Amino acid sequence: MIINIKNDEGELVYDVTKIDDAERKTNAGISVSKIGTLNVLVEALTYASQGHQANLEAILNDSPEALVKGEENEEESSSEDS
């Protein structure tokens, strides 16, 4: 299994299957698996978050009474006109 590691010094390429120590090879495989799972979770959470944000934006766009910025501007204009 080829692994690319990017850091400040550049990109390093490793072949996990070439690790001599069986315990280290196993630990490397476990770490790769965990990282893969976490990356899938991050992607799923990002997708879910974007969906909820789009839903909230749709609700707010359909609720002009909830708009605060417009009300503040109207109150400031009314005060300046007086």
Is it the case that residue 73 has pLDDT exceeding 90?
no
Is it the case that residue 71 has pLDDT exceeding 90?
no
Q: Provide the domain count of the chain.
A: 1
pTM: 0.64
Helix (H) or strand (E) holding 3: strand 2-7
Determine the structural domain holding residue 68 and report its residue range.
2-81
Q: 16-63: per-residue pLDDT in tens? A: 999 999 999 999 999 999 999 999 999 999 999 999 999 999 999 999
- Res 34: pLDDT: 97
DSSP lists the bridge partners of residue 11 as: 6
Distance CA 45, CA 59 (A): 21
Is it the case that residue 79 has pLDDT exceeding 80?
no
- Res 9: pLDDT: 87
